[in-house]
């Protein structure tokens, strides 16, 4: 990365050195009497001054260049007399200045170099005695300079600039003048930096906007000859600058310019024609930016209700504008693809726009290809993928969508379960839960887009195609996690999103989403195709409670479709939904394990270890299948279940390497506790998974065995209590367990940590409505602290924030 960063200034320096050599050689070839005295003196010291300038570039921190040295060398060559007498030398001077700009990083460069050079270029552009070539070269370089930091501000502060703005407006209105479009470009650069200039350019008195619209239309009909530059598209740049202006009145005036949408649509289409191919080959990056600007102009009008209809009409009446926007989803430019997806999304916000998009040949194929490509390239799902999915959803919900749905199902099946189309939809659902950097609304939209498109696809797939969908890696696990997240952690208000997730999850598990009324039939046994979904359900803690919570939010007499209710009820009939509780250790087994721990403390160590090992093996054998299936469904390596400290973890497995539910593993032989000094004869010892040497007695974190102990250790505690509710079959609980040990040691004097095994404590689970594991709660004075109930795995940073907010924060904070 550092090498790449260093390469850019180095390349700019080499380019500047080459331009200075070329300019110096051309100057030396000119007859001395033909040059002004100051230029003759400059030629005599050219090599020395060039080296000083390049040395300044080499020595400046960050690759910056001394603006004073650059001005001293190049500014004298920008006089009007010199440019008029030696136009060829002016072109070489402009090239050298353009290279020097790349090395001017400091603010001082604007004062010493960029500002004075820009002022001279503006004078050259407005000077009537110069050729159109000088005007164009000066404008092209001036537009580049105005994009640099503080350059426009320096130029606008000059006393002569006010009259210069009036002169630019006049030049832009001079029909047929070669510099007309260039005048628009310079005005755009000034208007982007100055609200007053933007106001003058957009004012009715200036009457400039209708002229700009006509110039855009003329560009579409007649491409400029020769090599193209940014200044050739000046009218377009002016509208972009005005629409981005700080003044709402200026922006509104620019958007409402009559005929703008049609002119922009015509130019957008024209840029795709063969006549522009050579120019595009030469200036590809510039054309990509032009397309982004045009799409932004169209999008800006689509967002204004009163301008939607004329913009919609322009996209449909222009020569293939809408297909051209769709085709830009295949642009090599990521920014152009994103801009095209935004424009299409705004168009499809209304029924007329959706119908128009539906009628474009191969629209669904273009959108699916955009979705696949963005996913395969690893792009942010919130950008093109999310919008393309919503656009596909609009097509799939069209009244004549059967052909679209069938074609999309065929394409997805042909690509396979590991393909990028289905992978993109699964990725959107996962990103709706995992992308912590996105806003809640954006996460909801990503998840909704993926789930809703998948639900529609399930309506069109054949039996063979359904098997492909059911085998998409991590799709079922992502749906389970999203269902839990949006119903619990996110507040449970996204009912519309959850409806789609429920139907998709049921379809993956074997529910016939076409014959929905058959939901009451006995669910079929799991097959190889539905195994992933069934395993994800079996390994999901609290899935039954999550589904029941959803049904409680959807009363039976609610108006609207009942598909999601039928799907939820069908899921509740699956044996896998209740398999978690069935796979967990029964209370009787827990009592046996606890008794074994008691015996171990009083009996000979060998017999105690054997009893504990046997008791642990019973719990492990019952819990392991569910946990292994859940982790396999999530695409993770299965971790064997291990003895829990509350069940008497004094023994170890044959390998002696298992991790307990509290993040420690059973000691292989008697040791002394590293904290209190107790031996294994007094308490079961646990070995730290981190250092493998320090042993602890396990008494630091209290393990709740029943309701009576809950009342004593939690409700009657004189200190705040952090409660961790876990289960042996819960994979994420294993990630949280070591954090509880850390919290007890880190904050032991401020609060205590209590662990509650989910299975033998049904009263706690029911009273505090625990639907997902692991679950955290905070109690103070026997009362649950408001908003402290949290479900799901946490990191150390999240736990620290949780403790700060719910335990350490002052009561009145």
Greatest CA separation found in the chain? 115
How far is residue 313's CA from residue 492's CA, in Å, rounded to a whole number? 41
DSSP 574: -
- Which residue among 386, 447, 479, 730 is the active-site one? 730
How far is residue 594's CA from residue 133's CA, in Å, rounded to a whole number? 94
Cα distances (Å, whole numbers) of residue 368 to 230, 291, 327, 362, 371: 34, 22, 12, 10, 5
For 239, the 3-state DSSP assignment is helix
List, in sequence order, the alpha helices (H) in 348-439.
Answer: 351-358, 363-376, 384-396, 402-415, 420-434
How far is residue 234's CA from residue 401's CA, in Å, rounded to a whole number? 43
Catalytic status, residue 673: no
Q: What are the structure tokens assigned to 464, written together?
A: 């063979």
Residue 136 Cα to chain centre, angstroms: 41
- Which residue among 151, 343, 447, 733 is the active-site one? 733
- Bond prior to 774 in cis (omega within 30° of 0): yes
How far is residue 19's CA from residue 276's CA, in Å, rounded to a whole number? 29
Q: Please choose, from the candidates 394, 404, 418, 552, the residue with its C-alpha nearest in 3D space to the C-alpha of residue 472.
A: 418
Catalytic status, residue 730: yes
How far is residue 268's CA from residue 246's CA, in Å, rounded to a whole number? 26
Q: What are the structure tokens assigned to 108, written together?
A: 């001082």
Q: What are the structure tokens assigned to 417, written together?
A: 């379960």
DSSP 527: -
DSSP 611: H
Q: What are the structure tokens assigned to 213, written together?
A: 């619209």
How far is residue 89's CA from residue 35's CA, in Å, rounded to a whole number? 11
Beta bridge partners of 687: 665, 695
Element spanning 306, H or E? helix 305-317
Catalytic residue positions? Answer: 730, 733
């Amino acid at each position: 990365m550092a090498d790449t960063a260093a390469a850019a200034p180095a390349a700019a320096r080499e380019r500047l050195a080459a331009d200075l050599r070329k300019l110096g050689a051309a100057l030396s070839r000119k007859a001395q009497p033909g040059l002004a005295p100051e230029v003759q003196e400059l030629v005599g010291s050219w090599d020395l001054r060039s080296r000083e300038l390049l040395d300044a570039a080499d020595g400046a921190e960050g690759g910056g260049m001394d603006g004073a040295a650059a001005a001293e060398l190049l500014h004298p060559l920008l006089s009007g007399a010199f440019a008029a007498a030696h136009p060829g030398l002016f072109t070489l001077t402009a090239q050298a200045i353009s290279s020097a700009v790349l090395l001017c990083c400091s603010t001082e460069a604007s004062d010493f170099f960029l500002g004075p050079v820009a002022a001279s270029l503006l004078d050259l552009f407005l000077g009537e005695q110069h050729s159109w070539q000088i005007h164009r070269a000066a404008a092209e370089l001036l537009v580049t300079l105005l994009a640099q930091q503080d350059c426009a501000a320096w130029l606008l502060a000059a006393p002569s600039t006010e009259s210069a703005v009036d002169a630019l407006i006049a030049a832009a209105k001079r029909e047929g003048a070669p510099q007309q479009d260039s005048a628009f470009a310079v005005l755009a650069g000034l208007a982007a930096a100055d609200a007053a200039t933007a106001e003058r350019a957009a004012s009715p008195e200036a009457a400039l906007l209708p002229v700009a619209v006509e110039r855009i239309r003329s560009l579409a009909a007649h491409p400029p000859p020769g090599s193209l530059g940014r200044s050739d598209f000046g009218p377009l740049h002016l509208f972009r600058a005005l629409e981005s202006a700080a003044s709402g009145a200026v922006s509104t005036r620019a958007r409402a310019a009559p005929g703008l949408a049609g002119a922009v649509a015509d130019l957008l289409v024209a840029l795709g024609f063969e006549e522009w191919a050579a120019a595009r080959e030469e200036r590809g990056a510039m054309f990509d930016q032009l397309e982004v600007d045009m799409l932004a102009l169209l999008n800006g009008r689509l967002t204004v209700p009163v301008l939607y209809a004329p913009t919609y009409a322009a996209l449909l009446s222009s020569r293939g504008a809408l297909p051209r926007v769709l085709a830009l989803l295949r642009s090599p430019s990521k920014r152009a693809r994103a801009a095209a997806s935004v424009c299409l999304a705004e168009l499809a916000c209304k029924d007329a726009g959706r119908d128009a998009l539906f009628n474009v040949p191969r629209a669904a194929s273009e959108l699916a290809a955009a979705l696949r490509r963005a996913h395969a390239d690893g792009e942010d799902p919130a950008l093109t993928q999310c919008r393309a999915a919503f656009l596909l959803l609009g097509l799939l919900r069209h009244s004549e969508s059967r052909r679209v749905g069938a074609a999309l199902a065929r394409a997805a099946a042909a690509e396979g379960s590991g393909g990028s189309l289905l992978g993109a939809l699964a990725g959107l659902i996962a990103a709706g839960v995992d992308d912590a950097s996105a806003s809640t609304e954006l996460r909801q939209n990503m998840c909704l887009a993926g789930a809703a498109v998948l639900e529609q696809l399930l309506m069109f797939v054949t039996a063979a195609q359904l098997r492909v969908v059911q085998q998409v890696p991590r799709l079922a696990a992502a749906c389970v996690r999203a269902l839990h997240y949006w119903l619990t952690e996110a507040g449970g208000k996204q009912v519309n999103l959850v409806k789609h997730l429920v139907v998709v999850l049921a379809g993956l598990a074997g529910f016939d989403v076409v014959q929905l009324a058959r939901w009451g039939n006995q669910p079929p046994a799991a097959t190889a195709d539905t195994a992933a979904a069934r395993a994800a359900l079996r390994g999901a803690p609290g899935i039954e409670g999550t589904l029941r919570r959803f049904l409680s939010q959807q009363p039976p007499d609610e108006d609207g479709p009942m598909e999601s209710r039928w799907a939820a009820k069908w899921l509740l009939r699956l044996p896998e939904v209740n398999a978690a509780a069935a796979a967990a250790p029964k209370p009787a087994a827990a009592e046996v394990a606890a008794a074994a721990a008691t015996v171990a403390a009083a009996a000979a160590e060998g017999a105690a270890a054997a009893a504990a090992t046997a008791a642990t093996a019973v719990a492990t054998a019952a819990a392991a299948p569910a946990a292994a299936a859940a982790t396999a469904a999530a695409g993770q390596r299965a971790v064997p279940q291990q003895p829990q400290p509350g069940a008497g973890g004094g023994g170890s497995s044959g390998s002696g390497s298992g991790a307990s539910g509290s993040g420690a593993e059973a000691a292989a032989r008697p040791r002394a506790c590293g904290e209190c000094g107790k031996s294994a004869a007094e308490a079961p010892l646990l070995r730290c998974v981190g250092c493998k040497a320090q042993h602890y007695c396990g008494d630091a974190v209290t393990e709740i065995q029943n309701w009576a102990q809950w009342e004593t250790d939690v409700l009657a505690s004189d200190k705040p209590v952090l409660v961790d509710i876990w289960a042996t079959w819960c994979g994420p609980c294993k990630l949280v367990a070591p954090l509880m040990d850390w919290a007890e040691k880190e904050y032991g004097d401020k609060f205590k940590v209590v662990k509650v095994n989910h299975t033998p404590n049904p009263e706690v689970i029911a009273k505090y409505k625990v639907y997902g594991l692991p679950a955290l709660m905070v109690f103070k004075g026997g009362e649950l602290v408001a908003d402290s109930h949290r479900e799901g795995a946490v990191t150390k940073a999240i736990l620290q924030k949780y403790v700060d907010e719910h335990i350490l924060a002052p009561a009145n904070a």
